[in-house]
């Protein structure tokens, strides 16, 4: 991977793709990693504190702050809970840090707080500590939120990339690209009428069921920034194995396909905030789908492919018409096409 | 068509293509003129169907890629000198200029807004009035009618802080230059551009150069069918212009769009990265509409740009493959591009890199 040579932060550094990766690996880890940080998990399992505790943090700067299917508040709860869930930890406690721009309308703050409360209650988590800061107008864009989460690991199952083997199957818990597309469309610059909503939701109910697979559950990840493409490439590069997926097996809502054709944004690269990618043992894929049956967060779940010895470290897609191509790691920020 | 039928149809077309290529005693090179075709071919994995003696090469049909470096420089200079807001289609934002890209300018505090529709640019001009708002006009005949409509609306509404910096181009002049190249056997003609200009207008490819051309859609089967038609004509020397995108393209094109364009724009000489200045290949605002021309009303002194001598965008735009450029995949990658062919979402190098041909 090329080294970080930028002298200024660009938007791509926050995109979750290659530029972000370079920033973390070249600037942050060398200074701060003392053992836990380097493996860059969704959330970290802490030792030496008695019960197995998972801990994570995330900051939310989504724009616009209100979008179809949610707002920055509900996202701040779901996103952090989902990072815990992907470490097989039941989300239990959250902290809530608010940075508010002077002049931010009180009624909008009330709506966001209401969403936070609703999301937390339905996810079964309690917000136990928090902080509020206000900065002068222009120093922040309306509202930024940070949530840290603590989760309890109740299952002996420890999903991790090291457990993945050739032949394992890859499952996605539902249609992809909804959140990223919904946010792109609801920005002021685009004035389309679309019935497209963010999929923002807590995935713990899905994970809880998949944990019943026992050691057959090898790995979990929520495909947020950079979408499914980023997560699959991460698996390929962490394991050194190839990933082979079938385009016609990937669940995609019609509205996402339509939006992607017009905007020129690949739905495989668009963020998801209510989905997980699970790697399960060969032969257990149907069992996994059966376990998820009836769980509304996992409707549309599908097996999309598997882990292979072919094309190591690469993700290869068999297209709808039977051709084949590589799914590359996304880079930088998403941009609409021009002609 | 369900997925099963689609793959079977694709397999059948692939067999025909292999058979036709087998009959040729020479290597076959087809130029896909339009950047959207380049991307569609890669996205559907169609190259995995082609035999080794068939090569698809890319042409100059990527508006970002053929825009000269000093267009970016000129835009930034205008923004600085007149405290203007630049409004652009997304692709242009990361194209390197001589002093950095529009993204760099934005990170330094420059006003750069991205839009999908030119009407949104006019909305931004209203919002920011009286600050000059300059729409960066790149595109081919597909895009131009919407810009023309926007300009007409701006005139009707009396929006006097809206400007367009035109680098618009038309497809026939470069196509005539490329048709003369001996090593090209046929052309996959652009679908969207042809929806505006029609399919009849390409007859010179046959009459003057003896080369076949097929107007194609963007679905995988559209493209495979078109390639099969081109190969048949190339192998048996029966060149014609065929319209394989009849659901969108008529022989004489879209009269309303052409009339709109003709009212607002007139032809001018234009400089194409890779091809130099081509007479009559650009479009400039005419008559009363020239009040919106940023070139005349927001003049700046733009020094000539120096392209990196190692950059081979020029060759790639005229049929070379990206791997012939020493920078491809090394110093020139999507995150850190040297030339526009790597940045543009329709760029050949971007397609090859994204789809793993590195």
Instruction: Report the chain A residue with the minimal C-alpha distance to residue B50.
Output: A323
| Minimal C-alpha gap between A244 and chain B (Å) | 14
Q: Which residues contact A267 (CB under 8 A, 6 or more apart)?
A: A176, A177, A180, A181, A227, A252, A256, A257, A260
Residue with tokens 């299952």: A155
SS3 category, B133:
strand
CA distance B341 to B337: 9
Complete DSSP assignment for A174-194? S--SHHHHHHHHTSTT-----
CA dihedral of residues A25, A28, A29, A32 (deg, nearest 10)? 180
pLDDT score for A226: 87
Give the nearest partner residue to B44 out of A9, A190, A321, using CB atoms. Answer: A321
DSSP string, A96-124: EEEEEETT--HHHHHHHHHHHHHHHHHHT
Task: Report CA-CA distances (Å) from B185 to A37, A195, B18, B64.
Answer: 57, 45, 16, 26
d(CA B277, CA A62): 44
Using the 8-state DSSP alphabet, how is residue B174 labeled? H
Q: Name the residue with tokens 């994970």.
A: A207
DSSP 8-state assignment for residue B169: B
* Res A119 pLDDT > 50: yes
- Say yes or no for a CB contact (<8 Å) between B63 and A190: no
Q: What's the pLDDT at B267? A: 97
* Topology at the third CATH level for domain A161-326: Phosphoribosyl-aminoimidazole Synthetase; Chain A, domain 2 (3.90.650)
For the record, the structure tokens of A213 come out as 């697979």
Q: Domain A40-153 maps to which CATH number in 3.40.50.2300, 3.30.1330.10, 3.30.70.120, 3.40.50.10890? A: 3.30.1330.10
Least confident of A165-179, A259-273, B2-16: A259-273
Contact list in B for residue A326 (CB cut-off 8 A) is 355-356
Averaged pLDDT, A64-84 = 95
Cα B313 to Cα B96, B166, B328, distances in angstroms: 13, 21, 10
The better pLDDT of the pair B117, A245 is held by A245
What number of other Cβ atoms are within 10 A of residue A178's Cβ? 28
Q: What is the DSSP string of B311-334?
A: --HHHHTTT--GGGSTTBTTTBBT
Query: Does residue A170 contact residue A304 with C-beta atoms inside 8 Å?
Result: yes
Chain A residues close to B139, C-beta within 8 Å: 338-339
Q: Which residues on chain A are in Cβ contact (under 8 Å) with B356?
A: 314, 316, 325-326, 328
By a Cβ cutoff of 8 Å, what residues of chain A touch chain B? 2, 5, 8-12, 18-19, 189-191, 248, 263-264, 314, 316-326, 328, 331-332, 335-339
Query: What single-letter DSSP state applies at residue A328?
Result: P
- CA nearest to A267, candidates A186, A189, A327: A327
Q: How far apart are the first and last CA of chain B?
A: 33
- Kindly list the domain boundaries of chain A, sorted by start residue: 40-153, 161-326
Distance, in Å, from the CA atom of B80 to the CA atom of B82, rounded to the nearest integer, reads: 6
Q: Is the pLDDT of residue A332 over 70?
A: no
Widest pairwise Cα distance in chain A: 59
Which candidate, A122, A147, A20, A13, places its Cα nearest to that of A72?
A147
Question: Residue A324: closest CA among chain B residues belongs to which residue?
Answer: B45
Whether A285 contacts A173, CB under 8 Å: no
Half-sphere exposure of A226 (CA within 13 A, CB side): 25
Q: Name the 3-class secondary structure at B137.
A: strand
Q: Is residue B127 within 8 angstroms of chain A, CB to CB? A: no
Q: Which of A318, A331, A339 sits opposite B335 (nearest CB)?
A: A331
Q: How far is B238 from chain A (nearest CA, A)?
A: 29
Question: Cβ(B293)–Cβ(B137) under 8 Å?
Answer: no
Domains, chain B, ordered by start: 65-170+254-297 (3.40.50.11740)
Contacts of A19 (CB under 8 A, 6+ apart): A4, A6, A10, A12, A13, A331, A332, B335
How many angstroms away from the CA of B1 is the closest CA of chain A?
11
Of all residues in chain B, the one with the smallest CA distance to A18 is: B335
Specify the DSSP element, H or E, that contains A219.
strand A217-221
Q: Please write the tens of the pLDDT for every residue from B220-265.
A: 999 999 999 999 999 999 999 999 999 999 999 999 999 999 999 9
Confidence class of residue B358 from pLDDT cuts 50, 70 and 90?
low
* Cβ under 8 Å to A: B residues 284-313: none
Q: Is B3 on the interface with A (CB under 8 A)?
A: yes
- Spatial neighbors of B149 by CB under 8 A, at least 6 apart, are B119, B260
pLDDT given for residue A333 in this prediction: 54
Q: Choose the mutation target among B18, B356, B357, B358 for the interface with A, i.e. most A CBs under 10 Å.
A: B356
Contacts of B45 in chain A (CB under 8 A): 317-319, 321-325
**B335–A19 C-beta distance less than 8 A:** yes
Kindly list the residues from chain A whose CB atom is less than 8 angstroms away from the CB atom of residue B114.
189, 335-336
Structure confidence at residue A334 as a pLDDT band (50, 70, 90):
low
Percent of chain A with pLDDT over 70: 93
The answer to whether A153 touches A231, Cβ cutoff 8 Å, is no
- In sequence order, the 6+-apart residues with CB closer than 8 A to the CB of A306 are A167, A168, A169, A170, A243, A244, A282
Do B356 and A325 count as a contact with CB atoms less than 8 A apart? yes
Query: Which among A18, A248, A264 has the least Cβ separation from residue B3?
Result: A248
Q: What is the mean pLDDT of residues B272-291?
A: 92
Token code pair at residue A232: 């699959």
Which pLDDT tens digit goes with each residue over A129-147?
A: 999 999 999 999 999 999 9
Structure confidence by residue, pLDDT tens digits, B18-66: 999 999 978 999 999 998 899 899 889 999 999 999 999 988 888 888 8
* Complex prediction ipTM: 0.73
Calculate how close chain B gets to A306, using CA atoms only, in Å.
19
Q: Do B10 and A323 touch (CB under 8 A)?
A: yes
């Amino acid at each position: 991977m090329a080294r970080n040579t930028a002298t200024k932060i660009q938007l791509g550094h926050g995109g979750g793709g290659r530029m972000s990766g370079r920033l973390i690996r070249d600037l942050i880890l060398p200074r701060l990693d003392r053992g836990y940080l380097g493996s860059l998990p969704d959330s970290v399992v802490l030792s030496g504190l008695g019960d197995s505790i998972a801990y994570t943090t995330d900051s939310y700067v989504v724009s616009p702050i209100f979008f179809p299917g949610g707002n920055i508040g509900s996202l701040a709860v779901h996103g952090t809970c989902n990072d815990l869930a992907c470490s097989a930890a039941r989300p239990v406690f959250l902290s809530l840090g608010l940075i508010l721009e002077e002049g931010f309308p009180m009624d909008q703050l009330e709506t966001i707080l209401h969403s936070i409360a609703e999301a937390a209650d339905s996810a079964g988590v309690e917000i136990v500590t928090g902080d509020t800061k206000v900065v002068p107008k222009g120093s922040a864009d309306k509202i930024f939120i940070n949530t840290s989460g603590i989760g309890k690991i109740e299952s002996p199952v420890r999903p991790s990339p090291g457990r993945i083997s050739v032949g394992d199957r890859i499952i996605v818990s539902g249609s992809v690209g909804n959140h990223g597309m919904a946010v792109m469309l609801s920005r002021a610059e685009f004035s389309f009428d679309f019935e497209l909503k963010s999929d923002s939701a807590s995935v713990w109910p899905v994970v809880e069921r998949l944990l019943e697979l026992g050691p057959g559950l090898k790995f979990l990840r929520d495909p947020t920034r950079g979408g499914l493409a980023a997560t699959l490439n991460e698996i390929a590069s962490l394991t050194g194995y190839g990933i082979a997926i079938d385009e016609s097996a990937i669940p995609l809502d019609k509205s996402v396909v339509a939006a992607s054709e017009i905007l020129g944004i690949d739905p495989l690269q668009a963020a998801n905030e209510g989905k997980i990618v699970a790697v399960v043992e060969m032969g257990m894929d149907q069992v996994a789908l059966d376990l998820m049956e009836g769980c509304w967060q996992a409707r549309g779940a599908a097996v999309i492919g598997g882990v292979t010895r072919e094309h190591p470290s690469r993700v290869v897609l068999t297209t709808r018409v039977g051709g084949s191509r590589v799914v590359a790691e996304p880079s930088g920020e998403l941009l609409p096409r021009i002609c | 068509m369900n997925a099963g039928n689609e793959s079977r149809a694709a397999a059948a077309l692939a067999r025909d293509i292999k058979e036709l290529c087998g009959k040729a005693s020479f290597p076959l090179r087809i130029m896909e003129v339009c950047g959207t075709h380049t991307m569609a071919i890669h996205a559907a994995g169609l190259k995995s169907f082609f035999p080794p003696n068939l090569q698809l090469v890319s042409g100059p049909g990527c508006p970002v890629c053929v825009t000269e470096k000093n267009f970016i420089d000129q835009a930034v200079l205008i923004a600085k000198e007149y405290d203007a807001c630049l409004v652009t289609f997304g692709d242009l934002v990361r194209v390197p200029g001589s002093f950095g890209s529009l993204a760099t300018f934005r990170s330094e505090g420059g006003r750069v807004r991205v839009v999908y529709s030119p009407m949104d640019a006019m909305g931004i001009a209203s919002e920011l009035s009286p600050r000059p708002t300059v729409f960066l006009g790149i595109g081919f005949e597909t895009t131009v009618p919407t810009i023309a409509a926007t300009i007409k609306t701006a005139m009707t509404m009396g929006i006097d802080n809206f400007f367009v910096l035109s680098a618009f181009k038309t497809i026939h002049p470069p196509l005539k230059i490329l048709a003369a190249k001996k090593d090209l056997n046929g052309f996959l003609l652009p679908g969207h551009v042809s929806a505006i200009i029609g399919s009849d207008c390409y007859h010179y490819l046959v009459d003057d150069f003896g080369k076949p051309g097929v107007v194609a859609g963007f679905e995988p089967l559209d493209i495979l069918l078109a390639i099969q038609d081109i190969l048949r004509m190339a192998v048996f020397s029966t060149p014609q212009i065929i319209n394989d995108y009849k659901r969108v393209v008529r022989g004489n094109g879209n009269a309303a769009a052409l009339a709109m364009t003709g009212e607002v724009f007139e032809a001018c000489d234009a400089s194409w990265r890779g091809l130099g200045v081509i007479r009559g290949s650009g479009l400039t605002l005419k008559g009363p509409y020239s009040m919106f021309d940023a070139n005349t009303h927001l003049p700046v002194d733009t020094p000539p740009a120096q392209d990196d001598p190692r950059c081979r965008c020029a060759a790639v735009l005229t049929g070379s493959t990206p791997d012939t450029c020493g920078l491809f995949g090394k110093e020139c990658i999507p995150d850190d591009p040297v030339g526009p062919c790597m940045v543009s979402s329709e760029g050949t190098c971007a397609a090859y890199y994204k789809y793993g041909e590195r």
